[in-house]
């Protein structure tokens, strides 16, 4: 408990002494282990957590400890050299892409971890692009330098070629694999050797550079000076004139270049063997931005859409972004929030801009994974958890009602796989709806819908593991036993040609009848464009109050689908004509007319099916390359190319998700257990006609 007291005492540090950073990477690169070491060396935890033993601080969910993976991004606060570092450890598994996306949205900087043997893997690329999207400055830590096949220079080259970034090598490894014992700091020209203590807290710093590395180090130092000088006009003229550039000048120029995304400093080490982590901590402080460096955040006025700006200081009006919802058995709904400007006091009210609602903040919590400490006040630059807000969802802006600002929202991909779920007993039906609603509040990529025709509840997510963990959480956290169907691919329907369709709904009963009549044009749109409704009614052929009714009827029919009951997407419906009856026309009559027009029109518009295509990356020993490529091709896969990585071959392909059920097990049997695969959703494509015919006959 004494350590929590330290945090409280030092909380209101100057803004330039705050770093909000995330640890991001491909699955199994050692993100969580690296975070554990950071917490240990900064005195936040007394002993080193271990994933294999299930004693990590940040992976606190039982499912995370059992599987040795991170599922939810955990937040914590620690100190290094008087600087307060707020860390978010994000998941690496593609099924939890929402966690990475929302964390990147609120971070000021990132530490990207790579595996020294694997190099730049497919998901490292995805995460890198996500960080590019939110313009997050970052530093690189090449981990697992002690692993067989570790290749520092090769990984740096891959970072340059595959990610299109400019890596600047800051430390060079001394030895590799079993022989790895430390690094040469190129700026200071000193050797750092971890030989004093197995936990890595103490290490030796000497001016001696190993004899066999001297020429390489001289070459790397010259390259470092040249790369940094290129980012700064003053340094460049000094460099070209052969003048001396001081270490401090290099550091200052490098800091500016990192913050403006021009370059990425590269460090290396082995978190598991406790070597090389401290220089990364120094780099977080030296090169990643504080709120002061970022100066301001841009948004828009919710009513006028005019640009709005907030300075990232405590004396500015309040603005914050809710980036994650967590349901806690003890305190209820917790809203993780990044405060950009102003201050927030517990017991006060905030205004939710997206929902146009006042929300009361009853308590403020500082989080350390799943432990918490209550505080009275939260300041600009902090990441805190709010207890109290009921309506706030992921991506909502909280601000001052008198001076509103709407910050950029977080976008999430659509789910690609779904399964039917039902309670083991009828009595649990209500409990099931409640459990599913709670989980979908937490996770924006998890969707639930009820198929009214079959009465089935369908849950959809980003992958089989994603759904498996959600079912497991329902069991453990909510005591819900459920029966689960087989995973189903989330197909979509679309049209391929333009048609005009007229529909009338007329019903005469005693008293008032029903009358709705509309004419629409259906037109296909490009992939991923969704649905657009255009109103081109002239001269009041349909009264304006019934036009939303037609749109509503069309949307209801889209959700049900026409061909095989999958949602219809990527089309435009233009309402061009219709008629009404003074007495009999009603909202419901026009809804039915709209729905009929869509269904009848779609049948003539060349209906087809779209399926999710996965980006597949398979790593196999060379002698299994032929059989693996043959297998991927037999699954309607499109081979994009192959890369060599040591003695293994990496096969890249696009393949339909429908053909990849249980692929991990199949690959193991094909490659004597030595093949590994990775897949992530890429895009939707039309299903071949012969396969659609087969599905229609079932």
Residue 542, token pair as written in the block: 């349909």
d(C-alpha 626, C-alpha 488), whole Å: 30
Q: How confident is the model at residue 96 (pLDDT cuts 50, 70, 90)?
A: low
Q: Which of 472-476, 564-568, 583-587 has the lowest mean pLDDT?
A: 472-476
Predicted pLDDT at 503: 94
**Secondary-structure percent of the chain, ordered helix, strand, coil, rounded to 5:** 30, 35, 35
**Residue 323 backbone class (left: φ over 0; alpha: ψ -120 to 50; beta: rest):** alpha
Through-space distance between the first and last CA atoms of the chain, rounded to whole angstroms? 63
By CB atoms closer than 10 A (0-12, 13-18, 19+), residue 46 is exposed
Question: pTM, whole model, 2 decimals?
Answer: 0.69
Report which secondary-structure segment, H or E, holds 597. Answer: helix 587-604
CATH 3.30.70.240 residue ranges in the chain?
Answer: 610-697
Q: Is the pLDDT higher at 324 or at 5? A: 324
Q: Record the tokens describing residue 95, joined without a space.
A: 């099924």
Q: Which of 155-169, 218-232, 268-282, 446-460 has the lowest mean pLDDT?
A: 446-460
Q: How confident is the model at residue 102 (pLDDT cuts 50, 70, 90)?
A: low
Contact 491, 611 (CB under 8 A): yes
Nearest to 590 by CA among 600, 582, 605, 579: 579
Q: Which CATH architecture has domain 2-208+254-293?
A: 3-Layer(aba) Sandwich (3.40)
Cβ-based burial of 360 (10 A; exposed 0-12, middle 13-18, buried ≥19) = middle
How far, rounded to the nearest angstrom, does the alpha carbon of residue 642 sit from its chain's CA centroid?
27
42-87 pLDDT, tens per residue?
Answer: 775 444 444 444 444 444 344 434 433 333 335 677 888 888 888 8
Q: How far apart are CA 181 and CA 270, in angstroms?
A: 9
The 3 state secondary structure assigned to 619-632 is: EEEHHHHHHHHHHH
236 backbone dihedrals φ, ψ, rounded to 5°? -65, -45
Nearest residue to 91 via CA among 22, 20, 21, 24: 24
CATH class for the domain made up of 417-490: alpha beta
DSSP 167-186: EEE-EEEES-GGG--EEEET
Q: Where in the chain is the domain with CATH 2.40.30.10?
A: 296-407
Q: Which has the minimum average pLDDT: 22-36, 286-300, 515-529? A: 22-36
Choice among 30-39, 78-87, 440-449, 659-668 with the minimum mean pLDDT: 30-39
pLDDT at 369 over 70: no
Local confidence band at 579 (pLDDT 50, 70, 90 cut-offs): very high
66 three-state secondary structure: helix
CATH 3.30.70.870 maps onto the chain at 417-490
**Lowest mean pLDDT: which of 124-128, 224-228, 250-254, 663-667?**
124-128
CATH 3.30.230.10 domain locations along the chain: 493-606
All CATH 3.40.50.300 domain ranges of the chain, comma separated, are 2-208+254-293
- If you average pLDDT over every residue of the chain, what do you get? 83
What is the fold of 610-697? Alpha-Beta Plaits (3.30.70)
pLDDT at 97: 58
What's the CATH number of domain 493-606, 2.60.40.10, 3.30.230.10, 3.40.50.300, 2.30.30.40? 3.30.230.10
CA–CA dist 434, 496 (Å, integer): 39
How many C-beta atoms surround the C-beta of residue 541 within 10 A? 15
Assign 12 a pLDDT band (cuts: 50, 70, 90).
low
Q: What's the pLDDT score for residue 60?
A: 38
pLDDT bucket at 122, cuts 50 / 70 / 90? low
**Is residue 2 scored above 50 in pLDDT?**
no
Assigned CATH topology for domain 296-407:
Elongation Factor Tu (Ef-tu); domain 3 (2.40.30)
pLDDT digits (tens, 9 = 90+) for 643-689: 887 678 889 999 998 898 878 788 888 888 778 787 878 889 999 99
């Amino acid at each position: 408990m004494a350590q929590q007291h330290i945090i409280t005492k030092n909380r209101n540090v100057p803004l330039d002494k705050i770093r909000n950073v995330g640890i991001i990477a491909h699955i199994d690169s050692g993100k969580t282990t690296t975070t554990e070491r950071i917490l240990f060396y900064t005195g936040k935890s007394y002993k080193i957590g271990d994933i294999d033993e299930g004693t990590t601080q940040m992976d606190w969910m039982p499912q995370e400890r059992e599987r040795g993976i991170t599922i939810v991004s955990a937040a914590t606060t620690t100190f290094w050299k008087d600087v307060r570092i707020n860390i978010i450890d994000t998941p690496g598994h593609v099924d939890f892409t929402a966690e990475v996306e929302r964390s990147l949205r609120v971070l000021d900087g990132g530490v990207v971890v790579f595996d020294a043997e694997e190099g730049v893997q497919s998901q490292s690329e995805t995460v890198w692009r996500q960080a590019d999207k939110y313009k997050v400055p970052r530093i690189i830590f090449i981990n697992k330098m002690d692993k067989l096949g570790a290749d520092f220079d090769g990984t740096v080259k891959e970072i340059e070629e595959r990610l299109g970034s400019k890596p600047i090598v800051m430390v060079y490894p001394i030895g590799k694999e079993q022989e790895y014992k430390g690094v040469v700091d190129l700026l200071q020209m000193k050797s750092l050797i971890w030989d004093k203590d197995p936990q890595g807290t103490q290490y030796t710093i000497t001016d001696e550079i190993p004899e066999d590395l001297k020429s390489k180090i001289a070459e790397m130092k010259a390259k470092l000076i040249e790369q940094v000088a290129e980012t700064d006009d003053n340094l460049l003229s000094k460099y070209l004139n052969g003048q001396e550039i001081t270490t401090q000048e290099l550091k200052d120029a490098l800091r500016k270049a990192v913050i403006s995304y021009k370059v990425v400093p590269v460090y290396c080490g082995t978190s598991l063997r406790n070597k090389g982590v401290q220089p990364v901590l120094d780099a977080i402080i030296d090169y990643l931005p504080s709120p002061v460096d970022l100066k301001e955040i841009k948004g828009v006025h919710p009513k006028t859409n005019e640009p709005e700006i907030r300075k990232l200081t405590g004396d500015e009006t309040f603005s914050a972004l809710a980036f994650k919802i967590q349901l806690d058995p003890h305190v209820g709904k917790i809203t993780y929030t990044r405060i950009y400007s102003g201050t927030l006091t517990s017991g006060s009210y905030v205004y939710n801009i997206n929902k146009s609602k006042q929300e009361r903040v009853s308590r403020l919590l500082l989080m350390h994974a799943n432990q918490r400490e209550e505080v009275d006040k939260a300041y600009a630059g902090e990441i805190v958890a709010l207890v109290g807000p009921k309506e706030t969802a992921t991506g909502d802006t909280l601000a001052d009602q008198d001076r509103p600002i709407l910050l950029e929202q977080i976008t999430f991909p659509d789910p690609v796989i779904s399964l039917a779920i039902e309670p083991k007993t009828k009595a649990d039906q209500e409990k099931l709806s409640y459990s599913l609603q709670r989980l979908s509040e937490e996770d924006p990529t998890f969707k639930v819908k009820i198929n009214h025709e079959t009465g089935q509840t369908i849950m959809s997510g980003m992958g089989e593991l994603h759904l498996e963990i959600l079912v497991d959480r329902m069991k453990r956290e909510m005591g819900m036993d459920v029966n689960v169907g087989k995973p189903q691919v989330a197909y979509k329907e679309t049209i391929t040609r333009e048609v005009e369709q007229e529909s009338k709904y007329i019903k005469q009963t005693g008293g008032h009848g029903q009358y709705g009549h509309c004419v629409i044009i259906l037109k296909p749109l490009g992939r991923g464009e969704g649905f657009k409704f255009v109103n081109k009614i002239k001269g009041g052929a349909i009264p304006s109050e019934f036009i939303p009714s037609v749109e509503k009827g069309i949307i209801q029919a889209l959700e049900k689908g026409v061909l095989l009951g999958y949602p219809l997407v990527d089309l435009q419906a233009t309402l061009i004509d219709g008629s009404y009856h003074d007495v009999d026309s009603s909202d419901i009559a026009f809804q039915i007319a709209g729905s009929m027009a869509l269904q009848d029109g779609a049948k003539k518009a060349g209906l087809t099916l779209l399926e999710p295509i996965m980006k597949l990356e398979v790593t196999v020993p060379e002698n299994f390359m032929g059989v693996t490529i043959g297998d991927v091709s037999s699954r309607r896969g499109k081979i994009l190319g192959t890369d060599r990585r040591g003695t293994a071959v990496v096969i890249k392909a696009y393949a339909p998700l429908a053909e990849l059920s249980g692929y991990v097990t199949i690959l193991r049997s094909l490659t004597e257990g030595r093949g590994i695969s990775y897949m992530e959703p890429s895009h939707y494509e039309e299903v071949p006609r012969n396969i659609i015919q087969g599905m229609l006959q079932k």
